[in-house]
Amino acid sequence: MQSRSPVADLMSESATKLLGGKYELVQPVGQGGMASVWLGLTHGEAGFRRKVAIKRVLQHLFQDQGFEAMFVEEARVVADLNHPNIVQVHDFGYDIDGGYFIVMEWCEGMNLENYVRSYLHARERTPWQLLSAVSIEVLRALSAAHQHTDDEGRAAPVIHRDVAPANILVGINGSVKLTDFGLSRAMDRPGTTDPGTVKGKVAYMAPECLRGSGPSLMTDIYALGVTLWEAVAGRPLFGGTGTDVEVAMRVMNGDIPPLDEVREDIPRELCQIVARATSLEPRHRYQRGGAMVEALSSLLRKQTKPTDGAEIARSVREAIRRKAPSMPPPKPRTIPGVTS
C-alpha cells in the first residue's frame, strides 16, 4: 500500500483545525503585530471538551528567530508564574504550518479597554471604585511576577513591560487576569530585545525607558498608573494623537493632568495615588506593587459602594450586554535608536 504523502497529512490536519492533534481553532478573538489569539477547544477522551485560548505566531514571522525566541520565552516565563491573577499556560507546541503556539486558560469576559469603552458607549462614567479594585488585582499579579524566584530559590523577578488596558482581562465571574507577557523580561535570562530599540506600546512606557534605561519593577508600576488614569478619565493620556515620536516626547515631558481636573467626582486620595505611580522619576513612584495595593485598599475601605468580585462580575455582564463596539488591539510600536 502506498504511504500517504506529507502534503496529504498536512491537508488532513489543517481541515480539522487541530493543533497538536487535540486543539481546535474555533474563532479568532484578537491580533497584534506579532501573534493572533483564538478561542479554542481542547479535545480529550470520551468527548471531553474545554475552552482554551490559543496564541499563535503570525505566519510571516515564522522564520524570525528574534521573535521566535521571544515567544518561547513568554511560554517559559508564564508557565513558571502560578498566580490566580495571571493567565495560566496549559501547553506549548509547534504548529504543523511551521510556527509555535501557546495554549492558555480561557477567560470569559472582556479586556479593560473594551470594559471602559462600554461605559463610554453608554455615555456613562466607569465607576472609579471598580477601576481601583481591578487595579489592585493587577498589582497582585505584578507583585507575583516581581517576586518570582528560580528553582534554587534565588530572586528572578519578571518584568511585564507591556501593562496596558488590552492586556488586563475582567471576567464574568469577577476575576481579573493579567496576560500577554510577550515582552516580559526575566532577570534569570538575557533579554531578547534587539539593541537600539524599545518594543511595546509607547504611550504606556516609562520615561526612563524611552531615554535608554532598562526596564525595572517601577516601569510596570508606571504603566499601570497610566492605565488607571486613562480608565478613570475615559480618554487617552499621551497616545490620543500624533506620531510615535510625538507621543514619546509627551511621555518624557511628564505632563500629566491631575485626575480631578478631568473628572470632578474623583477623591483627592486617588489623584495622589495615580500621581505617585506616574511620577517622572522612578524613585518617586511606589517601589513595590504591595505598597500601591495598600494605598488603594485604604481608599476603598472608606467607600460604601461594593467593589468585591461579585460586583465586578455584575458590571462585566452589564458591559457585555451593552455590546460596546470592539476595537482592534494597538499594534506594538518600535522607536529606532532607543535602547531597552
List the catalytic residues: 162
CA distance 101 to 142: 24
How far, rounded to the nearest angstrom, does the alpha carbon of residue 44 sit from its chain's CA centroid? 29
CA distance 327 to 113: 9
Q: Is the dihedral of CA 280, 283, 284, 285 positive or negative?
A: positive
Strand partners, 7: none
CA distance 201 to 197: 13
* Cβ neighbours, 10 Å, residue 321: 9
Residue 155 DSSP symbol = B
Instruction: Note every long-range contact of 320-324, with CB atoms under 8 Å and residues 24 or more positions apart, other chains counting.
Output: 320/109, 320/110, 320/118, 320/172, 322/118, 322/121, 322/122, 323/118, 324/114, 324/117, 324/118, 324/120, 324/121
CA distance 239 to 230: 10
Residue closest to 207 by CA, chosen among 282, 264, 276: 282
Helix (H), strand (E) at residue 71: helix 65-79
* Cβ neighbours, 10 Å, residue 124: 11
* Cβ neighbours, 10 Å, residue 299: 17
CA distance 167 to 184: 13
CA distance 3 to 102: 31
Residue closest to 168 by CA, chosen among 227, 216, 209: 227
